[in-house]
Protein backbone atom coordinates (compact mmCIF):
# COMPACT_ATOMS: atom_id res chain seq x y z
CA UNK A 1 0.00 0.00 0.00
CA UNK A 2 1.29 3.44 -0.92
CA UNK A 3 1.88 5.58 2.19
CA UNK A 4 3.38 9.02 2.86
CA UNK A 5 6.15 7.48 5.00
CA UNK A 6 8.91 8.36 2.48
CA UNK A 7 7.68 11.96 2.56
CA UNK A 8 8.01 11.99 6.34
CA UNK A 9 11.63 10.99 5.89
CA UNK A 10 12.16 14.02 3.67
CA UNK A 11 10.34 16.33 6.07
CA UNK A 12 12.43 15.27 9.07
CA UNK A 13 15.80 15.02 7.33
CA UNK A 14 17.09 18.05 9.19
CA UNK A 15 16.52 16.27 12.51
CA UNK A 16 19.25 13.80 11.61
CA UNK A 17 21.66 16.47 10.45
CA UNK A 18 21.25 18.74 13.46
CA UNK A 19 21.61 15.81 15.86
CA UNK A 20 24.79 14.80 14.04
CA UNK A 21 26.12 18.37 14.04
CA UNK A 22 25.42 18.80 17.75
CA UNK A 23 27.33 15.61 18.57
CA UNK A 24 30.31 16.82 16.49
CA UNK A 25 30.14 20.23 18.19
CA UNK A 26 30.29 18.50 21.58
CA UNK A 27 33.30 16.39 20.43
CA UNK A 28 31.33 13.30 21.40
CA UNK A 29 33.04 10.94 18.96
CA UNK A 30 36.53 12.21 19.74
CA UNK A 31 35.87 11.67 23.45
CA UNK A 32 35.03 8.04 22.68
CA UNK A 33 38.10 7.35 20.51
CA UNK A 34 39.91 4.07 20.97
CA UNK A 35 36.93 2.02 22.14
CA UNK A 36 35.95 4.12 25.14
CA UNK A 37 32.32 3.97 26.25
CA UNK A 38 30.06 6.55 27.81
CA UNK A 39 26.92 6.11 29.89
CA UNK A 40 24.13 8.63 30.18
CA UNK A 41 25.42 9.66 33.62
CA UNK A 42 28.95 10.10 32.27
CA UNK A 43 27.60 12.12 29.34
CA UNK A 44 25.88 14.43 31.81
CA UNK A 45 29.23 15.11 33.47
CA UNK A 46 31.56 15.12 30.45
CA UNK A 47 29.29 16.96 28.02
CA UNK A 48 27.70 19.28 30.56
CA UNK A 49 24.18 18.13 29.74
CA UNK A 50 21.14 17.42 31.91
CA UNK A 51 20.04 13.78 32.09
CA UNK A 52 17.17 13.97 29.57
CA UNK A 53 19.17 15.65 26.74
CA UNK A 54 22.13 13.34 27.36
CA UNK A 55 19.92 10.28 27.06
CA UNK A 56 18.15 11.60 23.95
CA UNK A 57 21.41 12.50 22.20
CA UNK A 58 23.06 9.13 22.80
CA UNK A 59 19.93 7.28 21.73
CA UNK A 60 19.59 9.36 18.58
CA UNK A 61 23.25 8.93 17.61
CA UNK A 62 22.88 5.18 18.04
CA UNK A 63 19.80 5.22 15.80
CA UNK A 64 21.82 7.02 13.12
CA UNK A 65 24.55 4.38 13.14
CA UNK A 66 27.11 6.64 14.82
CA UNK A 67 27.12 4.94 18.24
CA UNK A 68 26.47 1.36 19.31
CA UNK A 69 25.34 -0.03 22.64
CA UNK A 70 28.05 -1.67 24.75
CA UNK A 71 27.05 -2.86 28.21
CA UNK A 72 25.56 0.04 30.12
CA UNK A 73 26.95 2.63 27.74
CA UNK A 74 27.63 3.58 24.16
CA UNK A 75 30.75 3.53 22.02
CA UNK A 76 31.69 4.69 18.52
CA UNK A 77 30.66 2.56 15.60
CA UNK A 78 33.38 1.73 13.08
CA UNK A 79 32.14 4.59 10.89
CA UNK A 80 32.40 7.18 13.66
CA UNK A 81 35.77 5.88 14.87
CA UNK A 82 37.27 6.13 11.38
CA UNK A 83 35.88 9.48 10.25
CA UNK A 84 34.66 11.50 13.26
CA UNK A 85 37.63 11.39 15.63
CA UNK A 86 39.79 14.50 15.45
CA UNK A 87 43.34 13.77 14.39
CA UNK A 88 42.42 10.80 12.22
CA UNK A 89 43.69 11.15 8.62
CA UNK A 90 40.18 11.15 7.12
CA UNK A 91 38.43 13.25 9.78
CA UNK A 92 35.10 14.38 8.33
CA UNK A 93 34.00 16.73 11.09
CA UNK A 94 35.14 19.80 9.16
CA UNK A 95 32.44 19.20 6.57
CA UNK A 96 29.80 18.80 9.28
CA UNK A 97 30.83 22.01 11.03
CA UNK A 98 30.97 24.00 7.80
CA UNK A 99 27.49 22.96 6.72
CA UNK A 100 26.12 23.61 10.19
CA UNK A 101 27.66 27.06 10.57
CA UNK A 102 27.83 28.31 6.98
CA UNK A 103 25.05 26.85 4.85
CA UNK A 104 22.31 25.50 7.15
CA UNK A 105 20.57 28.82 7.87
CA UNK A 106 20.90 30.15 4.29
CA UNK A 107 19.23 26.95 3.07
CA UNK A 108 16.16 28.03 5.06
CA UNK A 109 15.75 30.73 2.36
CA UNK A 110 16.03 28.37 -0.59
CA UNK A 111 12.77 29.71 -2.04
CA UNK A 112 14.39 33.13 -2.27
CA UNK A 113 17.36 31.66 -4.13
CA UNK A 114 15.04 29.85 -6.54
CA UNK A 115 13.04 32.97 -7.31
CA UNK A 116 15.99 35.36 -7.61
CA UNK A 117 18.75 33.02 -8.91
CA UNK A 118 21.15 34.59 -6.42
CA UNK A 119 23.48 33.04 -3.81
CA UNK A 120 22.60 33.29 -0.14
CA UNK A 121 25.94 32.80 1.64
CA UNK A 122 27.70 35.87 0.19
CA UNK A 123 26.89 39.10 -1.65
CA UNK A 124 27.72 39.25 -5.38
CA UNK A 125 27.49 43.05 -5.18
CA UNK A 126 30.62 43.21 -3.02
CA UNK A 127 32.47 39.95 -3.81
CA UNK A 128 33.50 38.31 -7.08
CA UNK A 129 32.82 34.83 -5.71
CA UNK A 130 32.44 32.91 -2.46
CA UNK A 131 36.21 32.36 -2.55
CA UNK A 132 36.97 36.09 -2.62
CA UNK A 133 37.47 36.64 1.08
CA UNK A 134 40.22 37.27 3.58
CA UNK A 135 38.00 36.42 6.56
CA UNK A 136 40.16 33.97 8.54
CA UNK A 137 37.16 32.31 10.21
CA UNK A 138 35.43 31.69 6.88
CA UNK A 139 38.68 30.46 5.31
CA UNK A 140 39.35 28.05 8.14
CA UNK A 141 35.77 26.76 8.06
CA UNK A 142 35.54 26.37 4.28
CA UNK A 143 38.92 24.81 3.67
CA UNK A 144 38.54 22.55 6.69
CA UNK A 145 35.32 21.28 5.14
CA UNK A 146 36.86 20.87 1.70
CA UNK A 147 39.90 19.08 3.11
CA UNK A 148 37.82 16.58 5.06
CA UNK A 149 35.75 15.81 1.97
CA UNK A 150 38.64 15.78 -0.48
CA UNK A 151 41.15 13.50 1.21
CA UNK A 152 38.99 10.39 0.99
CA UNK A 153 37.67 11.35 -2.44
CA UNK A 154 41.25 11.67 -3.68
CA UNK A 155 42.05 8.23 -2.29
CA UNK A 156 39.14 6.75 -4.24
CA UNK A 157 40.22 8.60 -7.37
CA UNK A 158 43.76 7.20 -7.09
CA UNK A 159 42.37 3.68 -6.81
CA UNK A 160 40.10 3.92 -9.86
CA UNK A 161 41.80 6.27 -12.35
CA UNK A 162 45.13 4.94 -13.59
CA UNK A 163 47.71 7.71 -13.24
CA UNK A 164 50.62 5.36 -12.68
CA UNK A 165 52.46 6.61 -15.78
CA UNK A 166 51.96 10.28 -14.91
CA UNK A 167 54.82 12.35 -13.54
CA UNK A 168 53.63 15.95 -13.13
CA UNK A 169 50.14 16.90 -11.98
CA UNK A 170 48.56 20.36 -11.99
CA UNK A 171 45.70 20.60 -9.50
CA UNK A 172 43.64 23.57 -10.71
CA UNK A 173 41.82 25.19 -7.82
CA UNK A 174 43.59 22.67 -5.60
CA UNK A 175 42.55 24.49 -2.42
CA UNK A 176 43.85 22.87 0.75
CA UNK A 177 46.14 20.53 -1.20
CA UNK A 178 44.21 17.43 -0.17
CA UNK A 179 44.08 15.92 -3.65
CA UNK A 180 47.74 16.59 -4.37
CA UNK A 181 48.79 15.13 -1.01
CA UNK A 182 46.71 11.98 -1.31
CA UNK A 183 47.60 11.33 -4.95
CA UNK A 184 51.32 11.74 -4.25
CA UNK A 185 51.00 9.35 -1.31
CA UNK A 186 49.37 6.80 -3.60
CA UNK A 187 51.70 7.34 -6.58
CA UNK A 188 55.39 7.45 -5.58
CA UNK A 189 56.50 8.70 -9.00
CA UNK A 190 54.18 11.71 -9.03
CA UNK A 191 54.93 15.36 -8.28
CA UNK A 192 52.22 18.00 -8.11
CA UNK A 193 51.51 21.73 -8.27
CA UNK A 194 48.51 23.31 -6.54
CA UNK A 195 47.29 26.28 -8.57
CA UNK A 196 44.99 28.61 -6.64
CA UNK A 197 44.55 32.12 -5.25
CA UNK A 198 47.53 33.44 -3.24
CA UNK A 199 45.87 33.24 0.18
CA UNK A 200 44.67 29.70 -0.60
CA UNK A 201 48.18 28.64 -1.65
CA UNK A 202 49.36 29.55 1.85
CA UNK A 203 46.83 27.10 3.30
CA UNK A 204 47.89 24.41 0.83
CA UNK A 205 51.59 24.92 1.55
CA UNK A 206 50.99 24.52 5.29
CA UNK A 207 49.06 21.29 4.77
CA UNK A 208 51.68 19.97 2.36
CA UNK A 209 54.44 20.71 4.88
CA UNK A 210 52.49 18.99 7.66
CA UNK A 211 52.09 15.94 5.40
CA UNK A 212 55.85 15.87 4.75
CA UNK A 213 55.36 16.34 1.00
CA UNK A 214 57.04 19.71 0.41
CA UNK A 215 59.72 18.11 -1.74
CA UNK A 216 57.08 16.78 -4.17
CA UNK A 217 54.23 19.31 -4.03
CA UNK A 218 54.47 23.03 -4.74
CA UNK A 219 51.89 25.82 -4.74
CA UNK A 220 51.71 28.38 -7.55
CA UNK A 221 49.47 31.42 -7.01
CA UNK A 222 47.14 32.55 -9.76
CA UNK A 223 43.52 33.08 -10.71
CA UNK A 224 42.24 30.47 -13.13
CA UNK A 225 39.17 32.58 -13.91
CA UNK A 226 41.15 35.69 -14.85
CA UNK A 227 44.45 34.31 -16.17
CA UNK A 228 44.75 33.71 -19.91
CA UNK A 229 46.48 30.36 -19.43
CA UNK A 230 47.36 27.64 -16.94
CA UNK A 231 50.93 26.73 -15.93
CA UNK A 232 52.48 24.32 -18.43
CA UNK A 233 54.86 21.40 -18.13
CA UNK A 234 52.37 18.92 -16.67
CA UNK A 235 51.04 15.63 -18.03
CA UNK A 236 47.88 15.63 -15.88
CA UNK A 237 45.52 18.53 -15.24
CA UNK A 238 43.05 17.85 -12.45
CA UNK A 239 39.78 19.65 -11.77
CA UNK A 240 38.58 18.18 -8.49
CA UNK A 241 35.16 19.40 -7.31
CA UNK A 242 35.83 22.67 -9.19
CA UNK A 243 33.76 22.83 -12.36
CA UNK A 244 30.41 22.60 -10.55
CA UNK A 245 31.14 26.09 -9.17
CA UNK A 246 30.95 27.76 -12.59
CA UNK A 247 28.72 28.11 -15.62
CA UNK A 248 29.19 26.41 -18.99
CA UNK A 249 31.20 29.19 -20.74
CA UNK A 250 33.66 29.40 -17.84
CA UNK A 251 34.10 25.62 -17.80
CA UNK A 252 34.62 25.42 -21.54
CA UNK A 253 37.27 28.12 -21.28
CA UNK A 254 39.02 26.28 -18.44
CA UNK A 255 39.09 23.02 -20.39
CA UNK A 256 40.54 24.81 -23.41
CA UNK A 257 43.25 26.27 -21.18
CA UNK A 258 43.91 22.78 -19.79
CA UNK A 259 44.33 21.44 -23.33
CA UNK A 260 46.85 24.14 -24.20
CA UNK A 261 48.79 23.64 -20.96
CA UNK A 262 49.09 19.84 -21.20
CA UNK A 263 51.99 17.97 -22.70
CA UNK A 264 51.09 15.71 -25.68
CA UNK A 265 49.58 12.43 -24.49
CA UNK A 266 48.70 14.16 -21.23
CA UNK A 267 45.23 13.88 -19.75
CA UNK A 268 42.64 15.99 -18.00
CA UNK A 269 40.69 14.52 -15.08
CA UNK A 270 37.36 15.99 -13.97
CA UNK A 271 36.36 14.56 -10.57
CA UNK A 272 32.77 15.43 -9.65
CA UNK A 273 29.37 14.32 -8.44
CA UNK A 274 28.07 13.53 -11.92
CA UNK A 275 24.43 13.76 -12.92
CA UNK A 276 22.83 11.04 -15.01
CA UNK A 277 22.36 11.98 -18.66
CA UNK A 278 18.56 12.10 -18.25
CA UNK A 279 18.88 14.51 -15.28
CA UNK A 280 16.86 12.43 -12.84
CA UNK A 281 19.65 11.90 -10.29
CA UNK A 282 21.52 10.59 -8.51
CA UNK A 283 20.35 12.53 -5.46
CA UNK A 284 23.81 13.56 -4.14
CA UNK A 285 24.68 15.19 -7.47
CA UNK A 286 21.26 16.78 -7.93
CA UNK A 287 21.18 18.16 -4.38
CA UNK A 288 24.74 19.46 -4.70
CA UNK A 289 23.39 21.35 -7.68
CA UNK A 290 20.81 22.93 -5.40
CA UNK A 291 23.62 23.84 -3.01
CA UNK A 292 25.36 25.58 -5.90
CA UNK A 293 22.26 27.76 -6.17
CA UNK A 294 22.79 28.72 -2.53
CA UNK A 295 26.55 29.29 -2.79
CA UNK A 296 27.41 30.37 -6.36
CA UNK A 297 26.27 32.70 -9.13
CA UNK A 298 26.34 30.28 -12.05
CA UNK A 299 27.34 26.89 -10.70
CA UNK A 300 25.42 23.63 -11.12
CA UNK A 301 26.19 19.95 -11.35
CA UNK A 302 26.63 18.48 -14.81
CA UNK A 303 26.40 15.05 -16.39
CA UNK A 304 29.39 13.13 -17.68
CA UNK A 305 27.85 13.51 -21.17
CA UNK A 306 28.05 17.30 -20.84
CA UNK A 307 31.67 17.15 -19.70
CA UNK A 308 32.48 14.74 -22.54
CA UNK A 309 31.01 17.18 -25.07
CA UNK A 310 33.08 20.04 -23.74
CA UNK A 311 36.24 17.93 -23.70
CA UNK A 312 35.70 16.88 -27.30
CA UNK A 313 35.13 20.50 -28.32
CA UNK A 314 38.42 21.45 -26.66
CA UNK A 315 40.27 18.78 -28.69
CA UNK A 316 40.51 15.91 -26.22
CA UNK A 317 40.11 12.31 -27.39
CA UNK A 318 39.75 8.88 -25.73
CA UNK A 319 37.16 10.39 -23.42
CA UNK A 320 35.80 8.02 -20.79
CA UNK A 321 33.95 8.02 -17.49
CA UNK A 322 35.27 6.11 -14.49
CA UNK A 323 32.79 5.51 -11.67
CA UNK A 324 33.60 5.25 -7.97
CA UNK A 325 32.03 6.04 -4.61
CA UNK A 326 33.35 8.91 -2.49
CA UNK A 327 32.00 11.85 -0.46
CA UNK A 328 32.92 14.50 -3.03
CA UNK A 329 32.58 12.61 -6.30
CA UNK A 330 30.87 9.61 -7.83
CA UNK A 331 33.19 9.43 -10.80
CA UNK A 332 35.69 11.11 -13.07
CA UNK A 333 35.63 12.07 -16.72
CA UNK A 334 39.03 11.65 -18.38
CA UNK A 335 40.22 12.97 -21.74
CA UNK A 336 43.57 12.69 -23.51
CA UNK A 337 45.44 15.32 -25.51
CA UNK A 338 46.56 13.63 -28.73
CA UNK A 339 50.29 13.24 -29.34
CA UNK A 340 50.29 14.62 -32.85
Please report how the helices 13-25 and 51-63 are oriented relative to each other, as an axis angle in degrees rounded to 10: 120
Give me the sign of the Cα torsion angle 253, 258, 261, 266. negative
**Region label for 27, one of left (φ > 0), alpha (ψ between -120 and 50) or beta (otherwise):** left
Give the CA angle between residues 272, 313, 337 to the nearest 5°: 75
The CA distance from 261 to 230, in Å, is 6
Could you say which of 70, 160, 199, 244 is catalytic? Answer: 244
Q: Is 244 one of the annotated active-site residues of the chain?
A: yes
Using a 10 angstrom Cβ sphere, with 0-12 exposed, 13-18 middle and 19 or more buried, the burial of residue 53 is: middle
Query: Residue 102's closest CA among 117, 125, 120?
Result: 120
For the chain, how far is it from start to end, CA to CA, in angstroms? 62
Active site residue ranges:
244
Amino acid sequence: MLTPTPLMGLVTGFWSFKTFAAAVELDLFTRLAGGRTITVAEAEDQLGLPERPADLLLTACASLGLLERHGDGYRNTELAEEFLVKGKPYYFGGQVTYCDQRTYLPWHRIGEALREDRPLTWDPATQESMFDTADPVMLQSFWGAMHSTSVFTAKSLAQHVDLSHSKRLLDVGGGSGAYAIELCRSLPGLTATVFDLPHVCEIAAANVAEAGQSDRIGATPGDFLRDDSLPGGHDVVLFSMILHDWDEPANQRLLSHAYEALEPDGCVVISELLLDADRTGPAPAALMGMNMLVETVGGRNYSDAEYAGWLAAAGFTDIRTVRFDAPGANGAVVGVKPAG
